[in-house]
Amino acid sequence: MASSSGAAEPPVNEVPADACSVSDESDSSNEEGWEDVEPEDESQPVIGLFSDTVFPDVRSMLKESKEKNNFDLLKIQKDLDLDFLDTIKLVNYVRSEVQAGNKTPDVSSKEKFADDAYLKPVLEDDAVLYSLDDIAEDQGEDAAPGSEAERKVLELQEDLERLQTQFSEYRLAVQKSMEDQLTKEDEKLEPGQNAKRPVKDRLEDADADYFSSYSYNTIHESMLKDAIRTDAYRDFVYENKHLFKDKVVLDVGCGTGILSMFCAKAGAKKVISVDNSNIIDRAREIVYDNGLGDVITCIRGKIEEVTLPVDQVDIIISEWMGYALLFEAMFDSVIYARDRYLAPGGLMVPSHATLRIAPFADPDFIASHVSFWNNVYGFKMTSMQLNIHDEALVRHVPTTSIPAESAVFLPLPLHTITVDELTFLKDFKVTLDKDIDALDGWAIWFDMFFMPSSESTVPENAVPSDMQKKGFVGFTTGPYGTETHWQQTICLIDHGKQEPRPFKKGQVLTGKIGYQKKEQGSRLLDIDVQWQADDATKGSQHWSLQ
Amino acid sequence: MSESEATNASGVITSSADRMVGAEHAEVRYFTSYDHHGIHEEMLKDDVRTRSYRDSIYQNPHIFKDKVVLDVGCGTGILSMFAARAGAKHVIGVDMSSIIEKAKQIVAVNGLSDKVTLLQGKMEEVVLPFPKVDIIISEWMGYFLLYESMLDTVLYARDTYLAPGGKIFPDKATMYVAAIEDGEYKDDKIGFWDNVYGFNYSPMKEIALTEPLVDTVEMKALVTEPCEIITFDLNTVTTADLAFKVPYQLTAHRPDFIHALIAWFDIEFSACHKPIRFSTGPHAKYTHWKQTVFYLRDVLTVEEGETVSGVLENRPNDKNKRDLDINISYKFEIDDPTRFAEGSCFYRMC
């Protein structure tokens, strides 16, 4: 399921049996050690109709509304003979009236909230709307006893089925229309068409998405378990709570929502978490499970396309870094978000990055990954070597393979850098600190810094470990630090085209390194390096990271 | 990310670029990171695999001599070249992937172009230069034997092209299950989601429990004897047989806890003069297939000699035939009500 509701999962018979249940017809007797993927009795926090109070479930919320605000939803539903969609309109009508300051909305007749505009949820992910079939169920239980019990039960079952169908259709329609409406605020939802027509397809799509997203678990696990990465964000946020207190924060590419939750815990007033992948549905559940649903708003979509509930944010936090820093071009979206939403003087977290390059010399690596193809079980497979020199590799590089101190080739101040500056050709210079038999390639990595103000600067040649000693948060993805999931990027030199030759300790290599996106909007990255030794030996090569 | 996790992440998911649709940002870097020759390098360097094929072909030149051979899913062409060197009259290699361009160069460089014809395309669509073939060779096996496997393609090739009396290399695959103690790693993989930097990540935990894990299992983790669950004879098996429901029974050989079942497979080339076999089990030498781990929701406490039984059901997913839906039921039936356990878990490999 693409939706996050645990409270009111449509019954199993409404969706393909394999979509939401791990159960199996032949096996209904296993009480022990066996739970549904999304337990149906699990309650979802509900925000009060007349206050911001969060209730554990819809029943307790309705009870309080009845007692404190003299608003009996069930009675109104019955008196006005409201069907499922009417009830949804009622809830949204009440919410919008209350938001406008009217705590005693007029619910004397259906006409008051007949407008289809009230189909649009006032609150994102309003658990009340998702719980309406629970309410219906309750009613059914209340009404069932009596002389005509049997007939009544049948009737109610039919009603329930109808409501459930409507419900799942509605939920899917909402899911879709939320996205549409966020961008096209004026466009009115036409329930008659929108809720019916494409539902079946969407149901299937939604469930296909759900399961295809399963594989991503491993990815998010790897990232969360990358303690160098996650600790740095956590440390910065938790050690600088004063920066986050009562602030509005935007998390670009929020994934499972971990950074958003750090910010919420640190006292942020509001966190808006945007991600354009299925994981946003898990993030939403996780946020609720941790009681942070009132602070964090999860929005699915591209940052360039969604409409945020605020005009400005005080802080943008994002873990946007790719291999060789800029692979996959997500940084463009962060820059877009900064220019569009960040308040003057607002803070980027992290605030600075530096890209580094060093020579790479590792005869064992060359033997096992390049020379290997010279003789594979008695066959010559050298044509397999071609890609090795066309594509940059992502690997952990042992420090023994780095025969020189690395050089910074691009400092990136996140508060000011522009997208245009991400395509570049920069000079570098390194001095060998040992003899090598051959220059096998170039290694590239990056360092990240988290400074507490948009005015803060980082020395161009800054090293994370030095900054840490000064009390700042930062980390390196280089070979001298603890391994991260970014590893290092290796660009192997084709010895077939550029005859390998030894270099001596103390020799200086100067050169230029260029980054270029394969094409506009592409994730792929082209890397060019030209180099020259102090004895006039020259070389140049092109790689792509894909 | 440890080496094994890295292999898992890319290993299980890699070959399905189409699944990347809809994935954004952080996910993408993983899926796209694996370099294309990386997978072929890994397979060729899987010595158990490549040697078994080489031996089964080189030790049987009398079988290959002057025969027409079809290599289904030929990759870099290594098996085709083995067959050509073993004296085949002609070898046809078929692969959908663009790797076939490399394979053509490799075949040419090794002077075998006149013996080996390489065709890019689906088995169902390519036109072979021979109406029938005498031998089919294929390395079609996937994780859990059948995940993203090419077995159905091999069966299509058999039914369409194999001459009567023709041979298939390999021709037998047997699957096994056993139970393991794996408390520490289960805690790391599943329990991890209970507390992620102080937050409750249970929605991810539910997903994690449905994902079989491809990983190496140490022999000492085995709590029970293995149980053979099914054998496929490639000479006779049909596509329908690949969806199956089989019972298993596992007897503990020591008192211990059971956290998971594992599955693996053995492969046999029985058409050889002297049959050649290899195993991907925890007792055997490492292969890139590793083993497949299915975590149970229960932890079973077993004494030596006690038996856990159940049913393993496998079928291709209705919507995406490349995905597998696997259901494992288990029953630990003993008098001690504190240890009695029964349940069923659903898994999907996708």
Q: Do A215 and B211 touch (CB under 8 A)?
A: yes
A324: which DSSP letter?
T
CA distance to partner chain B, nearest, from residue A217 (Å): 7
Q: Do A382 and B109 touch (CB under 8 A)?
A: yes
**Would you list the domain boundaries of chain A?**
36-212, 215-349, 352-545
Q: How far apart are CA A523 and CA A18, in angstroms?
A: 34
Q: What is the pLDDT of residue A27?
A: 40
Q: Would residue A190 show up in a list of annotated catalytic residues for this protein?
A: no
Q: What is the pLDDT of residue B117?
A: 98
User: Which of B12, B204, B343 comes nearest A220 by C-beta?
Assistant: B204
Question: When comparing pLDDT for A93 and B179, which is higher?
Answer: B179
Q: Do B350 and A319 touch (CB under 8 A)?
A: no
Dihedral class, residue A234 (left if φ above 0, else alpha if ψ from -120 to 50, else beta): alpha
Task: Indicate the pLDDT class of residue A16, thresholds 50, 70 and 90.
Answer: very low
For residue B2, give every residue at least 6 positions away whose Cβ sits within 8 Å of its Cβ, in sequence order, or none.
none
Q: Which residue in B199, B336, B340 has the most chain A C-beta atoms within 10 A of its own C-beta, making it the best mutation to test that interface?
A: B199
Q: Which residue in A379, A482, A523, A545 has the most chain B C-beta atoms within 10 A of its own C-beta, making it the best mutation to test that interface?
A: A379
Name the token pair of A179.
Answer: 């996205």
CA distance to partner chain A, nearest, from residue B282 (Å): 23
What percent of chain A lies above the pLDDT cut of 90? 51
For residue B255, give every residue at least 6 positions away whose Cβ sits within 8 Å of its Cβ, in sequence order, or none.
B302, B303, B304
Q: Do B35 and A387 touch (CB under 8 A)?
A: yes
CA distance to partner chain B, nearest, from residue A28 (Å): 9
Q: Do B102 and A255 touch (CB under 8 A)?
A: no
Q: Do A258 and B199 touch (CB under 8 A)?
A: yes
Rg of chain A (C-alpha set): 29
Q: What is the pLDDT of residue B22?
A: 33
Q: What is the pLDDT of residue B135?
A: 98
Q: Pairing state of beta strands B256-269 and B172-180?
A: antiparallel
Residue A275: pLDDT over 80: yes
Give me the helix-helix angle, A84-99 and A149-183, nearest 10°.
50
Q: Which of A128, A147, A22, A7 is CA-nearest to residue A73?
A: A128
Which chain B residues contact residue A33 at CB under 8 A? 296-298, 341-343
Task: Indicate the pLDDT class of residue B115, thresholds 50, 70 and 90.
Answer: very high
Q: How far apart are CA A161 and CA B130, in angstroms?
A: 59
Mean pLDDT of B160-164: 98
Class of domain A352-545: mainly beta
Which chain B residues contact residue A286 at CB under 8 A? 199-204
Q: How far apart are CA A43 and CA A393, in angstroms?
A: 47
C-alpha separations of A374 from A380, B12, B46, B100 in Å: 5, 29, 17, 18
Residue B183: pLDDT over 70: yes
For residue A230, give every residue at least 6 positions away whose Cβ sits within 8 Å of its Cβ, in sequence order, or none.
A223, A224, A258, B197
Question: When comparing pLDDT for A151 and A187, which is higher?
Answer: A151
Which chain B residues contact residue A489 at CB under 8 A? none
Q: Which of A319, A391, A405, A421 is catalytic?
A: A319
Q: Which residue of A has its CA nearest to B343?
A: A30
Q: Which domains does chain B have, with CATH numbers?
A: 3-34 (no CATH), 41-139 (3.40.50.150), 173-349 (2.70.160.11)
Q: Do B25 and A330 touch (CB under 8 A)?
A: yes
**CA A405 and chain centroid, separation:** 35
Q: Which of B5, B27, B139, B303 is catalytic?
A: B139
CA distance to partner chain A, nearest, from residue B147 (Å): 14
Task: Indicate the pLDDT class of residue B32, thresholds 50, 70 and 90.
Answer: very low
Q: How far apart are CA A121 and CA A103, in angstroms?
A: 18
Which chain A residues contact residue B247 at CB under 8 A? none
Q: Is A3:A210 a contact under the CB 8 Å cutoff?
A: no
For residue B150, give every residue at least 6 positions away whose Cβ sits within 8 Å of its Cβ, in sequence order, or none.
B72, B73, B138, B140, B142
What percent of chain B lies above the pLDDT cut of 70? 89
Q: Do B24 and A382 touch (CB under 8 A)?
A: no
Rounded mean pLDDT of chain B?
89
Which chain B residues contact residue A328 at CB under 8 A? 25, 28-29, 32
Q: Would residue B333 show up in a list of annotated catalytic residues for this protein?
A: no
CA distance to partner chain B, nearest, from residue A72 (Å): 34
Which CATH superfamily groups domain A215-349? Vaccinia Virus protein VP39 (3.40.50.150)
Mean pLDDT of B16-41: 41
Which chain B residues contact residue A285 at CB under 8 A? 203
User: Which of B30, B35, B313 comes nearest A391 by C-beta?
Assistant: B35
Q: What is the pLDDT of residue B315?
A: 96
Which chain A residues contact residue B199 at CB under 8 A? 258, 261, 286, 290
Q: Which of A132-141, B28-37, B268-277 has the highest mean pLDDT?
A: B268-277
Task: Indicate the pLDDT class of residue A216, thresholds 50, 70 and 90.
Answer: low
Q: What is the pLDDT of residue B149?
A: 87
Q: Do B327 and A24 touch (CB under 8 A)?
A: yes
Local structure of A488: helix, strand or coil: strand
Cα-based angle A223, A229, A235 (whole degrees, multiple of 5): 130
Question: When comparing pLDDT for A101 and B349, which is higher?
Answer: B349
Residue contacts between A and B (CB atoms, under 8 Å): 201
Q: What is the pLDDT of residue A20?
A: 35
Residue A213: pLDDT over 80: no
Local structure of A49: helix, strand or coil: coil
CA distance to partner chain B, nearest, from residue A475 (Å): 16
What DSSP assignment string belongs to A170-219? HHHHHHHHHHHHHH-TTPPP-HHHHTTTTHHHHHHHHHHHHHHGGGHHHH
Residue B17: pLDDT over 50: no
CA distance to partner chain B, nearest, from residue A71 (Å): 34
Residue written as token pair 């919320």: A61
Q: Which residue of B has its CA nearest to A301?
A: B24
Ranges of H-type helices in A185-320: 191-194, 199-212, 216-225, 227-239, 241-244, 258-265, 279-289
Q: Do A224 and B197 touch (CB under 8 A)?
A: yes
Dihedral class, residue B22 (left if φ above 0, else alpha if ψ from -120 to 50, else beta): left
Q: What is the pLDDT of residue A28?
A: 40
Across the beta sheet with B133-138, the strand order is B116-120, B90-95, B68-72, B133-138, B162-169
C-alpha separations of A260 from A251, A267, A368 in Å: 6, 11, 43
Q: Which residue in B29, B312, B336 has the most chain A C-beta atoms within 10 A of its own C-beta, making it the best mutation to test that interface?
A: B29
Q: Do A219 and B9 touch (CB under 8 A)?
A: yes
Question: When comparing pLDDT for A135 and A537, which is higher?
Answer: A537
Cis status, amide bond into A350, omega within 30 of 0: yes
Q: What is the pLDDT of residue A61?
A: 81
Q: Which of A17-31, A399-413, B24-38 has the highest mean pLDDT?
A: A399-413
**CA A153 and chain centroid, separation:** 45
What percent of chain A lies above the pLDDT cut of 70? 77
Q: Which of B1, B166, B148 is CA-nearest to residue B67?
A: B166
CA distance to partner chain B, nearest, from residue A160 (Å): 28
Mean pLDDT of A440-467: 96
Residue A255: pLDDT over 60: yes
A86: which DSSP letter?
H
Q: Which residue in A318, A384, A491 has the most chain B C-beta atoms within 10 A of its own C-beta, making it the best mutation to test that interface?
A: A384
Q: Which of B3, B24, B42, B148 is catalytic?
A: B148
For the segment B46-67, what is each residue's pLDDT rounded down to a tens digit?
Answer: 999 999 999 999 999 999 999 9
Q: Which residue of B has its CA nearest to A487?
A: B1
Local structure of A113: helix, strand or coil: helix
Residue A485: pLDDT over 70: yes
For the segment A361-389, what is each residue's pLDDT rounded down to a tens digit?
Answer: 999 999 988 899 999 999 999 888 877 88
Lowest mean pLDDT segment, chosen from A200-204, A398-402, B238-242, B281-285:
A200-204
For the segment A218-247, what is each residue's pLDDT rounded down to a tens digit?
Answer: 888 889 999 999 999 999 999 999 999 999
Q: Which of A491, A310, A292 is CA-nearest to residue A390?
A: A491
The DSSP bridge partners found for residue B325 are B315, B348
Q: Which of A40, A64, A328, A391 is catalytic?
A: A328
Question: When comparing pLDDT for B121 and A124, which is higher?
Answer: B121
Q: Is A214:A207 a contact under the CB 8 Å cutoff?
A: no
Which chain B residues contact residue A376 at CB under 8 A? 44, 76, 78
Task: Indicate the pLDDT class of residue A194, thresholds 50, 70 and 90.
Answer: very low
User: Which of B40, B200, B329 comes nearest A27 by C-beta?
Assistant: B329
Kindly provide the ipTM of the predicted complex, given to two decimals. 0.82
Task: Indicate the pLDDT class of residue A138, thresholds 50, 70 and 90.
Answer: low
Residue written as token pair 């971990």: A258
Residue A327: pLDDT over 80: yes
Q: Do A33 and B341 touch (CB under 8 A)?
A: yes
Which chain A residues contact residue B194 at CB under 8 A? none
Q: Is A215:A24 a contact under the CB 8 Å cutoff?
A: no
Residue written as token pair 């999907």: B348
**If DSSP states are collapsed to H, E and C, what string results for chain B?**
CCHHHHHHHHHHHCCCHHHHCCCCCHHHHHHHHCCHHHHHHHHHCCHHHHHHHHHHHHCCHHHHCCCEEEEECCCCCHHHHHHHHCCCCEEEEEECCCHHHHHHHHHHHCCCCCCEEEEECCCCCCCCCCCCEEEEEECCCEECECECCCHHHHHHHHHHHEEEEEEEECCEEEEEEEEECCHHHHHHHCHHHHCECCECCHHHHHHHHHCCEEECCCHHHECECCEEEEEEECCCCCHHHHCEEEEEEEEECCCEEEEEEEEEEEEEECCCCCCEEEECCCCCCCCCCCEEEEEEEEEEEECCCCEEEEEEEEEECCCCCCCEEEEEEEEECCCCCCCCEEEEEEEEEC
Q: How far apart are CA A58 and CA A73, in angstroms?
A: 11
Mean pLDDT of A173-201: 38
Which chain B residues contact residue A382 at CB under 8 A? 109
Which chain B residues contact residue A221 at CB under 8 A? 5, 189, 192, 204, 208
Q: Do B27 and A279 touch (CB under 8 A)?
A: yes
Name the token pair of A252.
Answer: 């670009």
Q: Is A438:A407 a contact under the CB 8 Å cutoff?
A: no
Q: Do B348 and A394 touch (CB under 8 A)?
A: no
Which chain A residues contact residue B296 at CB under 8 A? 33
Burial of B135 (0-12, 13-18, 19+ CB in 10 A): buried
Residue written as token pair 């400074």: A451
Residue A418: pLDDT over 90: yes
CA distance to partner chain B, nearest, from residue A491 (Å): 13
User: Which of B24, B82, B199 comes nearest A276 by C-beta?
Assistant: B24
Q: Is A354:A467 a contact under the CB 8 Å cutoff?
A: no
Give me the helix-helix angle, A258-265 and A227-239, nearest 10°.
20
CA distance to partner chain B, nearest, from residue A68 (Å): 33
